[in-house]
Structure 1
Amino acid sequence: MEYKTEQVQFQPSQADSPQVGDKLHQRRSANYRPNLWKYDFLQSLNNNNDLKEGTKERVERLVEEVKPMLSEAVDSLLKLELIDSMRKLGLSNLFVTEIKEALETVASTNGGVFNVEDRLYASALRFRLLRQRGHVVSQDELRMFKEGRNTLNGSNCEDVEDMIELLEASHLALEGENILDEAKAFSTGIVRERVSGLDGQLLKRAVHALELPMHWRVQWFDIKWQIGLYEQQEDKQSNLLELAKLNFNTVQATHQRDLRDISRWWRDRGLIEHVNFARDRLVESFLCALGLSQGSRFSSLRKSLTKVIILILVIHDIYDLYGSLEELECFTGAITRYDSEQIQQLPDCMKVCFRALRDVTYDIAYDICKDEDWHRVLPHLTKAWEDFCKALLNEAKWDNMGYTPSLEEYLNNAWTSSSGPLILSHACYFTGHMKLDDAADLLQRNKDLIYNVSTIIRLCNDLGTSTAERDRGDAPSSVVCYMREANVSEDVARKHIKVLINQAWKRINARCFGNAETPFLRPFIIVTVNAARVAHMLYQFGDGFGVQDGDIRQQILCIVIKPLAHD
């Protein structure tokens, strides 16, 4: 992707940008391809699975059939495997009480009672499931992997299964848990070494785990893959499989309705016609919002966040591609003071963008409150936009100066410019039944969690886009900052950034697991941590926003567009 430039001479006039200076500025274009997802196609999406006659009743019957399975499983390992299957198939929300009680039973066994041959596999599975649910589990429970590290049989499939489960469990580590660090390095090495000799389901599971661990994936985005894998198991439960398929299609129907609604809003808004240099990525923005929360009751959250994310892309492209430094300072000042008078000296596209931002923020504030108190949330939302734009302006100044900051200086600004704090400042008001003041306090008390999630968003973005951005002459990314600061190669710098991502995940884990059972906090934590998982998905194979026809297109087709076939 190459930049095209267009020279524009700013001159004071009523038609274009008076009083912003007469500096010759080059308008840039990243040659983003036109939007792939057409309006008529999106409006045609109509997975009416939840409306089909008898579907709801069938789901209810299957739920009642499956409920006793956990209490009837007297073997601890079978109980754990059933819980794990429910979670992977997207059914854990249908059996919250049953899973909670089953895990409490497992936890009370003080380490579990397993057959010797299943001991490492079962202990790793137990560790992962219990820690995910907030139970206190010591890393010492996985110390046993050291006992067998010299006796693993390269031709033994059970050994590889043990290593895959150990690899997955190791990603739930906290800072200072050296046993889990060793377990991760050891299991990853074994699985990589033996993957070429595997086939069938075990090969698929090994490749999947090496690409991205479960803990770093958006669970909903993985369900179809997990259903396909479960369907091939000889010991599968047919009622569990049918329930998973029906549930996926029913929830997907809600997501399609949301997408139809938001696509009408985007067409009627007409913003992209005025900012044709920017990315028109409505469906990708919706996918990101969907990644944060999938439940049927969170439609307002998904639609509001889609509006926020699509505006983030447009505004980011204004700062990165379009505006001169003088214009960007003026635009940032208008956002800071919410002053529509100040934008009169800006180009028309920036005026239109400012008005769209103001209108969307007002709409979201009203959607949050739905009464006369809507104005109370407005200052919190506008402050989030102000901080975001100031961070973008700071990066524009560095670029204008030709300045490369240290990695620490870069990250001190980049966690805000990542848009993580902005998105989560909006999301927190939709995630629980709390007072407005409590929601604002929630953000402040969880600033460390938001910081680490936002850092992952930025670092994943940089890993996926830094090479292309450097070739285009963009402002330095974290990769480039570290390359220049430490005088190392790009490969070494990228490895260092991956270490930082791992460290951020450990800090997230400490906050996540420590508060898992706080009722009003848990929904916010889930949404917040999912933001980091969305970033992994979005930039795993490159620039998910910049390139539409790559992996991100397949994700959209799989998750949003195509229902699951079922009998």
Structure 2
Amino acid sequence: MSKTNESTGNQRRSANYHPSVWDPKFIEALSTSYTYELYGTKLDNLKQEARKLLNSTRDPLKFIDSMQRLGVAYHFEEEIKEILNLVRCDESLDLYTTALQFRLLREHGYPISSDVFSKFKDGEEGRFMEKLSEDIMGLLSLYEASYYGMHGEDDLEEAKDFSVKHLKSLIGKMDIKLAEQVQESLEFPLRWRMLRLEARSFIHLYEMDDAKSSLLLELAKLDYNLVQSVHQKEVKELTKWWMDLGLKEKLSFSRDRLIENYLWAMGIISEPRFSNYRKGITKFVCILSTIDDMYDIYGSLDELEHFTDAVNRWDIHAIDELPDYMKTCYLAMFNFGNEIVYNVLRDHDVNVVSHIHEAWGNLCTSYLVEARWFYSGYTPTLDEYLQNAWISVGGPGGMAHAYLLLGSPITKTSLASIQASSEPVYWSSLIARLCDDLGTFKAEISRGDVAKSVQCYMIKEDVTEEKALDHIKGLISFAWRKLNEASARNSYPKSIITISLNMARVAQCIYQHGDGIGTSTGVIKKRLISLIVNPIPIVRRSHEEE
């Protein structure tokens, strides 16, 4: 945002965002031979066979874990629930199985204490037994389980430290494939991974496993490709919407990132039946990011004050007081929000205009707070910054829209329960904000933008960048433990927990290697190609197994 741009806007700054790396003609030409019309029966047959395997396998927990990582567990939710209902703690189980059991039960909301690991500790000192230090798969399982820990569960932090220490010392003794798997986990644990991306990655890993189920592998590949066909249809439709909307031409200073924004929606919920949700959330993120850029790099403070007032009024006549470039942006937001209001009123007979109005009002007010900081040259404390930034990252607004777009029954009571679900939304939004800051702060420093979390901590605490980065990473880990805690309470709607967890995961995916939205020519582009463009080759099984 430019200090030279106080009123007339004669001098405007630009973030110099590169053009979209996705040619609309390329998106429109996307095609696949995998469709539900051609392969639906085959998919149903594979699901039926997999269901039989799940109910007959001697190691159901490992089979469930494979199903989840392969991305097909959503087909077997009831069967998985029945199996997990029967799980009982067993003192005779080894470290690998105990940790796997703990992780799966925690993930599915079953109460299980971290005391299950006490049997692996020395009786006198209470430390993990050194004889476990050579058990690679047990250590890896313990490491992954430790990321399901809650605030105050120090024993799981000890488990993490113990497993990390010994896994690092053993990497040199492992074969190349296992070493790569362990290294990847040490850099990015399962709990933090975007599920759809993990499915693509694990399908490749599972294919090389001598103990794999060829049937389950074939199901995973076919399901992945069929779901991808739905996603391709969605991005085609969204591309037409985005071109017709005209924001990228009218507001050329903003990011043109339709496909990257779709990653948020697809990463949060990828199942085929939630198509309307994905299209709606992508539209929300596109409009949000345009408004964000307007506050961050283009609008004068006087213009931004007027825009915020117009949003808080939620009145079509408010555009009369806005400059021309803002009118287009305001109408895009206003029409999109009111379209959702209309659809909910039509389908559920509930008026949600106040919820949509409040979501956009809170978001733009938080943007204005940051704009005022910038123009006054004020650097907030980290706490002061985060009190505003968990809203400005878009999490609460996104959650409000997501719930209305899911297609679930909407009543005044259910809306009240969503509004009461602030804790998981807060911790998820905080993770998203901190990951965003870690990925973008260098570029934003060079542009002279308002201070973000890293700079706030460096300046106010007078510490080095390295120490500030460590502190922010520590806050992300703390927020994950609090999100785990909120998830385990079972007092919030399941849909809100799922969206909260997955929003945090997508944020970590997008900002893992820098600003995956602003600069989307590297890792993010490769990931999107694997997610949306390229299907997985399928070789039919040569014989029936098991």
TM range (shorter): over 0.9
- 1:547 aligned onto 2:526: no
**Paired residue for 2:156, among 175, 180, 204?**
180
Residue aligning to 2:240: 264
Distance 1:368 1:451, change over 3 A: same
Q: Is the 8 A contact 1:377 1:436 kept in 2?
A: no
Structure 1 residues 423-432 or 172-181, which shifts more?
A: 423-432
Distance 1:430 1:491, change over 3 A: same
- 1:39 aligned onto 2:18: no
Counterpart Cα distance in 2 of 1:153 and 1:368 = 56
Cα offsets for 1:214-242 (capped at 9, x unmatched): 11112112101101000001111111110
Q: Is the 8 A contact 1:145 1:183 kept in 2?
A: no
User: Structure 2 length normalisation: TM-score?
Assistant: 0.93
Q: Is the 8 A contact 2:132 2:139 kept in 1?
A: no
| Partner amino acid, structure 1, of 2:176 | G
Counterpart Cα distance in 2 of 1:354 and 1:137 = 49
Q: Is the 8 A contact 1:429 1:436 kept in 2?
A: no
Residue aligning to 2:41: 57
- 1:73 aligned onto 2:57: yes
| Partner amino acid, structure 2, of 1:176 | G
Cα offsets for 1:492-544 (capped at 9, x unmatched): 1111111111111111112212218x7xx212321222111111001010001
User: Structure 1 length normalisation: TM-score?
Assistant: 0.90
Q: Is the 8 A contact 2:337 2:356 kept in 1?
A: yes
- 1:309 aligned onto 2:295: no
**Paired residue for 1:459, among 434, 443, 460?**
434
Counterpart Cα distance in 2 of 1:409 and 1:196 = 45
Q: Is the 8 A contact 1:120 1:144 kept in 2?
A: no
- 1:396 aligned onto 2:371: yes
Cα offsets for 1:301-336 (capped at 9, x unmatched): 100000000111100100000011101001101111
Counterpart Cα distance in 1 of 2:406 and 2:92 = 38
Displacement after TM superposition at 1:355 (Å): 0.9
Counterpart Cα distance in 2 of 1:434 and 1:501 = 33
| Partner amino acid, structure 2, of 1:234 | D
Q: Is the 8 A contact 1:278 1:314 kept in 2?
A: yes
Displacement after TM superposition at 1:434 (Å): 2.7
Residue aligning to 1:564: 536
Residue aligning to 1:424: 399
SS in 1 for 2:116: helix
Counterpart Cα distance in 2 of 1:121 and 1:553 = 36
- 1:325 aligned onto 2:301: yes
Residue aligning to 1:15: none
Counterpart Cα distance in 2 of 1:333 and 1:240 = 55
Residue aligning to 2:544: none
Distance 1:344 1:204, change over 3 A: same
SS in 1 for 2:130: coil
Kindly report which structure 2 residues correspond to 1:383-532, keeping only aligned pairs within 5 A, or say none.
Answer: 383-431=358-406, 433-515=408-490, 521-532=493-504
Counterpart Cα distance in 2 of 1:378 and 1:195 = 56
Counterpart Cα distance in 1 of 2:50 and 2:399 = 36
Give the share of equivalent positions with the same residue, in percent: 38
Residue aligning to 1:284: 260
Residue aligning to 1:13: none
Kindly report which structure 2 residues correspond to 1:115-126, keeping only aligned pairs within 5 A, or say none.
Answer: 119-126=94-101
Q: Is the 8 A contact 1:463 1:494 kept in 2?
A: yes
| Partner amino acid, structure 2, of 1:35 | S
Q: Is the 8 A contact 1:195 1:203 kept in 2?
A: yes
Higher relative contact order, chain-length normalized (CA < 8 Å, sep 6+): 2
Q: Which runs of 5+ in 1 are unaligned?
A: 11-20
Cα offsets for 1:348-397 (capped at 9, x unmatched): 211111111111112222334435947x1122112100100000000000
Counterpart Cα distance in 2 of 1:368 and 1:200 = 53
Cα offsets for 1:423-465 (capped at 9, x unmatched): 0010112336333313421222111111111111110101111
Cα offsets for 1:257-306 (capped at 9, x unmatched): 11111111111111110110100000001111111111111111100000
Distance 1:82 1:561, change over 3 A: same
SS in 2 for 1:545: coil
Distance 1:72 1:346, change over 3 A: same
- 1:151 aligned onto 2:136: no
| Partner amino acid, structure 1, of 2:334 | R
Counterpart Cα distance in 2 of 1:327 and 1:416 = 21
Kindly report which structure 2 residues correspond to 1:371-390, keeping only aligned pairs within 5 A, or say none.
Answer: 371=347, 373=349, 376-390=351-365
Q: Is the 8 A contact 2:421 2:496 kept in 1?
A: no
Kindly report which structure 2 residues correspond to 1:148-297, keeping only aligned pairs within 5 A, or say none.
Answer: 149=128, 151-152=130-131, 156=134, 159-297=135-273
Displacement after TM superposition at 1:190 (Å): 2.4
Q: Is the 8 A contact 1:6 1:27 kept in 2?
A: no
| Partner amino acid, structure 1, of 2:443 | A
**Paired residue for 2:82, among 101, 104, 123?**
101
Counterpart Cα distance in 2 of 1:6 and 1:34 = 25
Counterpart Cα distance in 2 of 1:288 and 1:98 = 29
Displacement after TM superposition at 1:205 (Å): 1.6
Counterpart Cα distance in 2 of 1:468 and 1:190 = 37
| Partner amino acid, structure 1, of 2:402 | A
Displacement after TM superposition at 1:342 (Å): 3.7
Counterpart Cα distance in 2 of 1:405 and 1:332 = 21
Counterpart Cα distance in 2 of 1:487 and 1:218 = 35
| Partner amino acid, structure 2, of 1:122 | T
Displacement after TM superposition at 1:113 (Å): 4.3
| Partner amino acid, structure 1, of 2:280 | S
SS in 2 for 1:488: coil
Q: Is the 8 A contact 2:3 2:375 kept in 1?
A: no
Q: Is the 8 A contact 1:330 1:343 kept in 2?
A: no
Counterpart Cα distance in 2 of 1:152 and 1:403 = 55
| Partner amino acid, structure 1, of 2:49 | E
Q: Is the 8 A contact 2:276 2:406 kept in 1?
A: no
- 1:365 aligned onto 2:341: yes
Cα offsets for 1:110-162 (capped at 9, x unmatched): 33643xxxx111111110011111111110112344448563587x4xx2222
Q: Is the 8 A contact 2:106 2:488 kept in 1?
A: yes
Counterpart Cα distance in 2 of 1:330 and 1:348 = 13
Q: Is the 8 A contact 2:348 2:410 kept in 1?
A: no
SS in 1 for 2:13: strand
